[in-house]
């Protein structure tokens, strides 16, 4: 993602855990329906993508498969239920999180390819996936809160342009490399769609 990959991975995951697991995730604050609120949404998506790094390291060390369909299905079912409870379209939520998971798995596959070619670059693996999964669950809640906050904007004609601007700003702020830029584009592919009125 950034230069100094191993250290950046540890710093990023530590920041995720400190920032999101210190308590319940509160709904995002500030003015809704504007460019800044989409930047906050896209930044949360990028933060969730970064969790692919320790997950990939664990799976590599454990000789575990990258894809876990049972875990994904459980995650999507729970997210659909959470969406319904907040008056957000469950089908939209399933689509955008499916995109997010696909993008995350793509990063993991890329890391596996790099480590296969150069085993010396494999970073230290975490003992298990407990911390990463807790971070993912917390970030899912954060992302869903941002979706609810920006529901009208995501269904408006202004969405594609504002989303492009948000991706560009997050890319600049986080110094995302080409892999993460492509992953972020995939993760945001289904956001700008008309929303059903409730």
Q: What is the pLDDT of residues 76-114, one digit of tens each?
A: 999 999 999 988 999 999 999 999 999 999 999 999 999
Closest residue by Cα to residue 150 from 46, 36, 16: 36
pLDDT of 193? 78
Using the predicted structure, report yes or no on whether residue 16 has a pLDDT greater than 50: no
Query: Mean pLDDT throughout 44-64?
Result: 98
- The predicted model scores a pTM of 0.82
Closest residue by Cα to residue 103 from 50, 49, 40: 49
Structural domains in the chain? 5-17+30-187 (1.20.59.10)
């Amino acid at each position: 993602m950034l230069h100094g990959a191993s250290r950046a991975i540890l710093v990023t995951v530590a920041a995720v855990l400190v920032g999101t697991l210190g308590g319940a995730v509160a709904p995002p604050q500030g003015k809704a329906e504007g460019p800044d609120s989409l930047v906050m949404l896209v930044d949360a998506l990028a933060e969730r993508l970064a969790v692919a790094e320790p997950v990939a390291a664990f799976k590599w060390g454990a000789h575990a498969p990258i894809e876990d369909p049972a875990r994904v299905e459980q995650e999507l079912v729970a997210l659909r239920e959470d969406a319904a409870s907040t008056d957000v379209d469950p089908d939209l939520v399933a689509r955008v999180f499916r995109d997010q998971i696909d993008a995350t798995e793509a990063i993991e596959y890329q890391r596996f390819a790099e480590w296969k070619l150069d085993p010396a670059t494999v970073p230290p693996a975490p003992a298990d996936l407990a911390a990463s999964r807790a971070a993912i669950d917390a970030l899912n809640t954060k992302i869903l809160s941002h979706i609810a906050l920006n529901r009208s904007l995501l269904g408006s004609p202004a969405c594609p342009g504002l989303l492009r601007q948000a991706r560009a700003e997050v890319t600049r702020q986080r110094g995302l490399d080409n892999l993460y830029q492509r992953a972020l584009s995939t993760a945001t592919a289904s956001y700008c769609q008309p929303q059903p009125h409730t």
